[in-house]
Structure 1
Amino acid sequence: MVRASATGKPVFIPAAVPGETVLVEVEKEMPKFMTARLVKVIEASSRRQQPPCEHYQECGGCSLIHVDYKGQIQMKKQFLEESLKKYAGYTGEVEPMIKNPTVFEYRNSLKMPAAMVDDVLETGLYKRDSNDFVPIHACAIHTRGLEKARKEVMDILRESGMKAWSRNKRGGLRMLVMKEFDGKVQVILVTDPMDIDPEITAKIMNIPEVTSVWQSIKTERDPEVETFGKVMRHLAGDETMSLKLGDFDLTLLPRSFFQLNTQQAKVLYETVRDMTPEGGLIVEAYSGIGGISMFLHDKAKKIIGIEGVADAVTNARENAKANGLENVEFIHGDAAEQLEEIADNEDVDTLVVDPPRSGLQERMIEAVKFAQPKNIIYVSCNPSTLAKDIEALEDYEIEKVQPVDIFSQTSNVEAVVKLKRTDE
């Protein structure tokens, strides 16, 4: 981002690096900002590098891959600081970023739409803010095992004659979803209503890394924003994925979410644990498969996790039982409703929230104000919504801000913020 001298408005320029002299073409002017296209780099930053990815220009997913890692860390920390200042009025200290030791080949999951390109089945991505499909032949941030298995799965699907789904034809592959933990891969074929040939399933199971195959059947009535359809079929192998995280053994079903960087997930959870004070009751909203709650088991007499995805709650309960954690429990339901119900009966010492990128909904903000926890540990992947939510939580002040780099090469910023109630 730069500031145009003529108007004083911020100008957002994808692919530019702070400190560079560039020639741009303004594409859109809004009341408070402008967006522009980079035409030419006149004087390059010392932080600029040649992107090690053939799809960089078309894909756009790794929006910082043209910046060296030190530059990426600087840019992300600056974005976090600016967001906290702009929306929450916070000008205090932000701790140094906890760096990612593996800046490539770290992503343990992929969700790639399918399309026919020159009559060949391909998986890829859509260009940002468009419906233009870009086939991706290799991804620099997927784990090596995930990429190897993806290529072999696609070869099998092509050889079988499978086509991509289209609105004009029934059947076909809509999306390929894969997860990899501890060298084991789960394959989920998201399709239009159709039967998968058992021979295809058998061939996929013969890939050494693959331990599980599922089919998700999605209809045109299913929301496009949701990855899976309502019907999930277990075709072969293990029903759940398992992984070792620190001292804990975790399992998850296909619909259950886990952090996309396994190594840094452990660091993130340890950061939350270190920032959480001891108390009688800790409540975690959006608790997923229970990882954070389990890491906090020795911080309170009782931990309650709240999660809206039923499969994740099932996994969380099984995980707590398997790891012998008797003071950790999980409930299924709306986070705001359940938090208020808990607060009606008990004092909440610390509330841990790890919401989606959209942040806390207004209903949840009201529930937090009702519950009045002494402390809040806010885990965020979006500095803008983080700062806006902190501003809305009027009775709390920031005690510590700790950024953690989880999504290297991308502009995503993860941060853990400790908030304390001001009347304590």
Structure 2
Amino acid sequence: MQCPYFDANICRSCTQMGVPYTQQVQAKDAEARALLSPFGEIDWLEPVASAEEGFRNKAKIVVAGSVQEPTLGIVNPRTGIGSDLSECGLYEPALSAMMPVFRALIQRAQLTPYNIKTQKGELKNILVTLSPNGASMVRFVLRSKKLLVPIRREIQRLQAEIPGLTVVSVNLLREPIALVEGAEEIILTEAQTLPMQLSELSLHLRPQSFFQTNTAIADALYHQGREWVAQAAPRSLWDLYCGVGGFGLHAATVLDGAAEVTGIEVSSEAIASAQRTAGELKLENMHFEAADATEFALAAAPVDYPELLVVNPPRRGIGEKLADWVQTSGIQTVIYSSCNVRSLAKDLECMPGFRVAKARVLDMFPQTNHYEVITLLERKK
């Protein structure tokens, strides 16, 4: 893949741009194998490759410039000058097709871009998520409610110009801080969730709930977890850091009511999304709760510990406290999905009672050094 933005030194986010894609995947697989080699004789499955371009199902667009000439891309935090990346080759085609619509909207509705140097203007970011079935969610991140009415007036036209536009919302980020979004969300459409269609089921996403950037690889990741759950056939399962319930819901469908499945996630928005999906699927013995994963585990009585544990933490990993709890819990099987193999290795050092039985690299982030690795951990005999 070649990128004119990278070649012109406008955007350097894709640190592996220009490296043959097969070589990228091989390097990621080799790194994961080397970092996890101290933790047992691992059965390494073939890495799962992505499409090397056109795979991103979401865009985090920083809006800069002026109403007449807005830029949709990134902004230099020192100068406040924006660089337009609206033709980024990583975007799914349907997402790229939205960019001219957003530019015309800004001009037509006078949505003044926010200037980080002067701290004036209103429209900070546009956040877009696209489902494989063509549905989409668009969120406008504003400094205040000043543009709420103009955006509300444009919804009908936006839905005419963006086929499948399902959810439109305004997010308020009032403080002049380097965040993508704020805590307050105002949903402007009747639909409150975006159905994210996967091959086995459809997950619901509320505006502030997280989903992986690469839908095809996320689907493969959940399938791998589902396969290992089916083989283990536990009578109880916890899905910690469950997000919108991807692993837990897939596990519940294969266990078919024969196990108690509990999903824990700190985000109440994500839990609401997961609960809606579980309700639609009429899953029995499925429970979701908004709570801190470590606090939930440490507060549980031993009689309630699960037979199988799934963890899918952020880049920092599960941390020493939770890893120590897993080590002493008596749980026999853990599925650990990690987006940072170094933090995974650090957590495994706190869990010497386990060996890595199986592992697989899934390339969630082509053109970068990042990737996902899913591991099956078994307690040593």
Work out whether the TM-score is over 0.5: yes
Within 5 Å, give how 1:224-373 maps onto structure 2.
Answer: 224-225=178-179, 227-276=180-229, 277-297=232-252, 298-299=254-255, 301-373=259-331
* Secondary structure at 1:296 match in 2: helix
In the alignment, is the contact (CA less than 8 A) between 1:126 and 1:133 conserved in 2?
yes
Measure, in 2, the Cα distance between the counterparts of 1:361 and 1:120. Answer: 46
Aligned to 1:178: 128
* Secondary structure at 2:235 match in 1: strand
Aligned to 2:45: 95
In the alignment, is the contact (CA less than 8 A) between 1:249 and 1:323 conserved in 2?
no
User: In structure 2, do the counterparts of structure 1 residues 131 and 78 end up closer, same or farther at CA, with 3 Å as the change threshold?
Assistant: farther
**1:341-388 deviation digits (Å, cap 9, x = unpaired):** 334332321111101112113332233234332111110111111111
TM-score (norm. length: structure 1): 0.80
Aligned to 1:393: 351
Are 2:378 and 1:420 equivalent residues in the alignment? yes
**1:48-82 deviation digits (Å, cap 9, x = unpaired):** xxx42111233122222211221111111122123
Residue 390 of structure 1: CA displacement? Answer: 1.2
Structure with the larger helix share: 2
Aligned to 2:19: 67
User: In structure 2, do the counterparts of structure 1 residues 126 and 170 end up closer, same or farther at CA, with 3 Å as the change threshold?
Assistant: closer
| Aligned residue pairs, count | 368
Within 5 Å, give how 1:66-85 maps onto structure 2.
Answer: 66-85=18-37
User: In structure 2, do the counterparts of structure 1 residues 169 and 337 end up closer, same or farther at CA, with 3 Å as the change threshold?
Assistant: closer
Residue 257 of structure 1: CA displacement? Answer: 0.9
Measure, in 2, the Cα distance between the counterparts of 1:73 and 1:334. Answer: 34
* Secondary structure at 1:59 match in 2: coil
Are 2:342 and 1:384 equivalent residues in the alignment? yes
What amino acid is aligned across from residue 166 of structure 2 in structure 1?
T
**1:253-276 deviation digits (Å, cap 9, x = unpaired):** 011111212222111111112223
Residue 237 of structure 1: CA displacement? Answer: 4.8
Measure, in 2, the Cα distance between the counterparts of 1:321 and 1:95. Answer: 34
Residue 216 of structure 1: CA displacement? Answer: 0.2
The RMSD of aligned alpha carbons is 2.5
Are 2:5 and 1:52 equivalent residues in the alignment? no
TM-score (norm. length: structure 2): 0.89
Residue 124 of structure 1: CA displacement? Answer: 1.1
In the alignment, is the contact (CA less than 8 A) between 2:67 and 2:106 conserved in 1?
no
Query: What are the ranges of 5 or more consecutive residues in structure 1 without an aligned counterpart?
Result: 1-50
Measure, in 2, the Cα distance between the counterparts of 1:378 and 1:359. Answer: 10
Are 2:148 and 1:190 equivalent residues in the alignment? no
Measure, in 1, the Cα distance between the counterparts of 2:135 and 2:204. Answer: 12
In the alignment, is the contact (CA less than 8 A) between 1:59 and 1:126 conserved in 2?
no
Measure, in 2, the Cα distance between the counterparts of 1:124 and 1:411. Answer: 21
Measure, in 1, the Cα distance between the counterparts of 2:332 and 2:377. Answer: 9
Within 5 Å, give how 1:72-221 maps onto structure 2.
Answer: 72-85=24-37, 88=38, 92-100=42-50, 102-116=51-65, 120-125=69-74, 133-167=82-116, 168-181=118-131, 182-193=133-144, 194-196=146-148, 197=150, 198-209=152-163, 210-220=165-175
* Secondary structure at 1:238 match in 2: coil
**1:71-102 deviation digits (Å, cap 9, x = unpaired):** 111111122123324xx5667553321222x3
